[in-house]
């Protein structure tokens, strides 16, 4: 009886692997381009590129996405010629190959989104073929495997022809997926990967199987060029549901000679149990939605723990002994923290991988602006949550785009200033604490003219902090006319919103006229569960990210050195009286009354102050009472109809009521706007 298998089950794995291979192919092409500028070749990189394209072609063939198959095959033929030429790939070929990878990526995205896949780009393939200097084969293999007539491209037939000439066997392998195989970790992806390790996988082709009634299944027909024996291939496939037939006959003497040569790509048959163990140790691809679901369940457990602590406190007030309950609650808290760390590790991605798309961005910008620019990425092994990475990348793209379009001068200007004609944009990342990273986007361009920005903004600018405040205003642009690259006043506003409002981090600027500019983003590695400080203003409870608070200190009448103490609403004071100046550690720090800003009256003087840094400068907010530091689950407020400046999300502290999370930087901006108006 045939088990029902839907080919759509393989879409997720196909998209994930194809995207990864396309990204690797892009990086290989960029490395080859660098080699061209240095007058060298990279044969190993060319071979890696060929393997990536060959694998993409096999995956697409397995899924029946013929346009990708044709593009990959055309590129594969081009790269094979480069490999035979010692790794030499012309700049024109690199440019066309990058276009081809882009076309593949667009079609992979269409498959991921279940959209109609664009057809075969005939003009592009013709262009690729015109670049290929390798003469076409004049003779194709005479014996095509039974059932494969009309299913192979010219290039694939050439592969079979080459195998025939070199006396390497060609094997037809049929794999039928089943539920029992899946439970053992055996899928078409694992079989294809393992077979490719012992030979050259020419083509993978899905075939529908008719079952009882309306039931249908699927089988995968594969052509493998390999010196390995039938037993080795069977052991490598690790399943009894593989039909293996040698389809190209050779003399017994030739086959014996190959077997006796002990070639490295004909390993001995592994023990079946060892092979299963190896599969178990391999990387398992997990859909991000499953990790999100796991994170959601953890969030519910954390809220339940808060409620348990509230109930324990209520029981203690009744005079009961709750020591044993507190011990259990503390143990549960430690276990939840361990679980949180384990889930976070599963969600972590390398920052270096996140930054890779910037290579293509800078390459395109350098061409469009006609300014030679090199991008230097320094991330090491730093990691962060995938959700944070997805939010952070658009901000980094804006900063890098601005650096190339605004900061890097034309080659003749750089030469006149004594600089190298090629500009440099450097993106570096380091871990600055257990739960934070610091990203710096630095250029060696002309710097930002503070006086020119002040004239355009029609206000004085005395520091880099004030300059950053102007640059991040929505709609503010340093350009008179917008271009396709920049000039609409949206970029820096997006960077500020992502770094500060969405991620609860910090953004700082340092610029030197004529020497360059550096933007620094300090963000947490995860935002789903975070540490916060909870406090009261009047009868209301609020929280702020603990990472933003530099210090908490006592507020008293004696500490007010300049200005009035923070007033309360209803006292007839103006908005300006919501601020005082406190001298703290030899520095005058603005102190804003949070109760006055939020129009909350408790009738009591604020007793605590939270110190943050806004655009690199310290600022304090007074509150009535500190409650403590807690680990909470934050829910963002995405509905624009209920979005309020200064409020970034909500959490549950265990009492069943939503507690608002405040953005103190945004509240400071609200205060400045009130004063200005």
Rounded-to-integer distance, Cα 514 and Cα 416, Å: 12
Contact 165, 206 (CB under 8 A): no
- State the DSSP H helix or E strand holding residue 607, giving kind and residue range, or none if neither: none
pLDDT (tens digit, 9 = 90+) per residue, 218-259? Answer: 788 888 888 888 878 877 765 443 444 444 433 334 334 433
| Residue 178 pLDDT | 78
Rounded-to-integer distance, Cα 530 and Cα 436, Å: 11
pLDDT band at 59 (very low <50, low <70, confident <90, very high): confident
As a whole number, mean pLDDT of residues 167-171 equals 81
Highest mean pLDDT among 256-265, 291-300, 479-488: 291-300
- SS3 call for 209: strand
Annotate 112-136 with b (16+ C-beta within 10 A) or e (fewer): eeeeebeebbeebbeebeebbeeee
Q: Are strands 423-433 and 373-378 parallel, antiparallel or unpaired?
A: parallel
pLDDT band at 438 (very low <50, low <70, confident <90, very high): very high
CA dihedral 232, 237, 240, 241 (to 10 degrees): -130
Residue 67: pLDDT over 80:
yes
Listed range (146-150, 278-282, 471-475) with the worst mean pLDDT: 278-282
Nearest to 302 by CA among 329, 272, 265, 273: 329
Rounded-to-integer distance, Cα 234 and Cα 243, Å: 9
Tokens, residue 222? 């594969």
Neighbours of 316 (CB within 10 A): 14
Stronger pLDDT, 214 or 269, i.e. the higher one: 214
For domain 529-676, the CATH superfamily is CheA-289, Domain 4 (2.40.50.180)
As a whole number, mean pLDDT of residues 642-666 equals 79
| Residue 565 pLDDT | 41
Tokens, residue 396? 């980094």
pLDDT band at 447 (very low <50, low <70, confident <90, very high): very high
Rounded-to-integer distance, Cα 160 and Cα 141, Å: 6
What fold, for 1-135?
Answer: 1.20.120
CA dihedral 156, 159, 161, 165 (to 10 degrees): -170
Stronger pLDDT, 359 or 261, i.e. the higher one: 359
Contact 380, 438 (CB under 8 A): no
Residue 134: pLDDT over 60:
no
| Residue 103 pLDDT | 93
- SS3 call for 82: helix
DSSP state letters, 450-494? HHHHHHHHTS---SHHHHHHHHTSTT--S-SS--SSS-SS-HHHH
Contact 427, 362 (CB under 8 A): no
632's CB contacts (< 8 A; 6+ apart) are: 302, 306, 529, 530, 531, 532, 543, 651, 652, 653
pLDDT (tens digit, 9 = 90+) per residue, 460-518? Answer: 888 888 898 888 887 777 665 555 455 444 578 888 888 887 887 888 899 999 999 99
pTM: 0.64
Nearest to 541 by CA among 460, 656, 464: 656
Residue 89: pLDDT over 90:
no
pLDDT (tens digit, 9 = 90+) per residue, 1-13? Answer: 444 445 556 787 7
Contact 672, 578 (CB under 8 A): no
Q: Where are the domains of the chain?
A: 1-135, 137-280, 288-347, 356-524, 529-676
Tokens, residue 424? 């440099």
Distances (CA, A) of 165 to 11, 25, 83, 143: 37, 30, 20, 12
Q: Which residue has the tokens 């999370």?
A: 661
Average predicted confidence (pLDDT) for the chain:
77
Q: Taking the domain 356-524, which CATH number applies?
A: 3.30.565.10
Rounded-to-integer distance, Cα 175 and Cα 111, Å: 23
> Dmax of the chain from CA atoms?
105
pLDDT band at 538 (very low <50, low <70, confident <90, very high): confident
Listed range (23-37, 41-55, 149-163, 268-282) with the worst mean pLDDT: 268-282
Phi, psi of 38, deg, nearest 5? -90, -5
% of the chain surpassing 70 pLDDT: 77
| Residue 251 pLDDT | 36
Tokens, residue 611? 């110190």
Tokens, residue 274? 């060892």
Please give the DSSP secondary-structure letter assigned to residue 649. Answer: E
Tokens, residue 19? 């995207």
| Residue 661 pLDDT | 87
pLDDT band at 416 (very low <50, low <70, confident <90, very high): very high
Nearest to 661 by CA among 551, 506, 540: 540
| Residue 638 pLDDT | 65
pLDDT band at 640 (very low <50, low <70, confident <90, very high): low
Where do runs of H (alpha helix) occur along 172-251? 179-183, 188-197, 230-237
Residue 272: pLDDT over 80:
no
Highest mean pLDDT among 273-287, 512-526, 581-595: 512-526
158's CB contacts (< 8 A; 6+ apart) are: 137, 140
pLDDT band at 411 (very low <50, low <70, confident <90, very high): very high
260's CB contacts (< 8 A; 6+ apart) are: none
pLDDT (tens digit, 9 = 90+) per residue, 377-396? Answer: 999 888 998 888 988 988 99
């Amino acid at each position: 009886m045939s088990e029902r298998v839907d080919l759509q089950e393989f879409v997720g794995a196909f998209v994930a692997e194809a995207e990864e291979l396309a990204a690797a192919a892009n990086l290989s092409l960029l490395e080859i381009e660098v080699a061209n500028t240095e007058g060298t070749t990279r044969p190993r990189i060319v071979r890696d590129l060929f393997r990536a394209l060959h694998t993409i072609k096999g995956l697409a063939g397995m899924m029946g996405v013929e346009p990708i198959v044709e593009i990959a095959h055309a590129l594969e033929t081009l790269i094979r010629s480069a490999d035979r030429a010692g790794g030499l790939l012309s700049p024109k070929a690199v440019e066309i190959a990058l276009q081809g990878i882009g076309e593949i990526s667009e079609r992979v995205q269409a498959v991921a989104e279940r959209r109609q896949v664009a057809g075969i780009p005939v003009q592009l393939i013709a262009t690729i073929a015109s670049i290929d200097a390798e003469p076409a084969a004049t003779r194709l293999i005479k014996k095509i495997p039974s059932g494969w007539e009309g299913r192979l491209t010219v290039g694939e037939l050439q592969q079979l022809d080459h195998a025939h000439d070199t006396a390497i066997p060609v094997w037809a392998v049929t794999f039928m997926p089943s539920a029992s195989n899946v439970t053992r970790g055996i899928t078409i992806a694992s079989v294809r990967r393992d077979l490719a390790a012992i030979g050259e996988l020419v083509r993978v082709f899905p075939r529908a199987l008719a079952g009882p009634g309306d039931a249908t299944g699927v089988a995968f027909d594969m052509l493998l060029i390999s010196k390995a024996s039938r037993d080795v291939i069977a052991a490598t496939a690790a399943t009894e549901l593989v039909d293996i037939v040698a389809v190209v006959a050779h003399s017994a003497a030739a086959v014996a000679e190959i077997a006796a040569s002990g070639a490295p790509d004909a390993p001995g048959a592994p023990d079946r149990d060892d092979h299963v163990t190896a599969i178990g140790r391999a990387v398992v691809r997990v859909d991000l939605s499953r990790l999100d679901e796991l994170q959601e369940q953890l969030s519910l457990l954390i809220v339940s723990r808060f409620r348990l602590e509230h109930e324990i406190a209520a029981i203690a007030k009744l005079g009961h002994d709750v020591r044993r309950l507190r011990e259990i609650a503390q143990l549960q808290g430690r276990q939840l923290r361990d679980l949180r760390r384990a889930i976070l590790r599963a969600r972590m991605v390398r920052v270096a991988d996140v930054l890779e798309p910037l290579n293509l961005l800078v390459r395109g910008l350098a061409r469009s602006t006609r300014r030679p620019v090199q991008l230097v990425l320094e991330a090491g092994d730093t990691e962060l949550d995938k959700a944070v990475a997805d939010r952070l990348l658009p901000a980094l793209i804006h900063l890098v785009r601005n650096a190339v379009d605004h900061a890097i001068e034309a080659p003749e200007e750089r030469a006149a200033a004594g600089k190298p004609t090629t500009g440099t944009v450097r993106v570096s990342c380091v871990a600055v604490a257990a739960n934070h990273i610091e990203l710096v986007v630095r250029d060696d361009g002309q710097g930002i003219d503070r006086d020119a920005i002040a004239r355009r903004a029609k206000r004085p600018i005395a520091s880099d902090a004030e300059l950053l405040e102007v640059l991040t205003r929505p709609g503010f642009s340093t350009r008179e006319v917008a271009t396709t690259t920049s000039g609409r006043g949206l970029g820096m506003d997006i960077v500020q919103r992502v770094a500060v409002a969405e991620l609860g981090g910090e953004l700082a600027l340092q610029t030197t006229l004529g020497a360059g500019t550096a933007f620094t983003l300090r963000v947490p590695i995860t935002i789903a569960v975070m540490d916060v400080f909870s406090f009261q203003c009047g009868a209301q409870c609020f929280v702020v990210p603990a990472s933003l608070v530099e210090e908490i200190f006592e507020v008293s009448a004696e500490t007010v050195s300049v200005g009035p103490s923070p007033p309360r609403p209803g006292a007839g004071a103006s908005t300006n009286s919501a601020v005082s100046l406190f001298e703290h550690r030899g520095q005058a720090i603005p102190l804003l009354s949070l109760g006055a800003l939020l129009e909350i009256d408790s009738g009591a003087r604020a007793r605590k102050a939270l110190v943050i840094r806004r655009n690199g400068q310290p600022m304090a907010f007074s509150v009535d009472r500190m409650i403590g530091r807690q680990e909470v689950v934050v829910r963002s407020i995405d509905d624009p109809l209920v979005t309020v400046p200064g409020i970034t999300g909500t959490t549950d502290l265990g009492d069943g009521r939503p507690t608002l999370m405040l953005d103190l930087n945004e509240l400071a901006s609200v205060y400045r706007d009130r004063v200005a108006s």
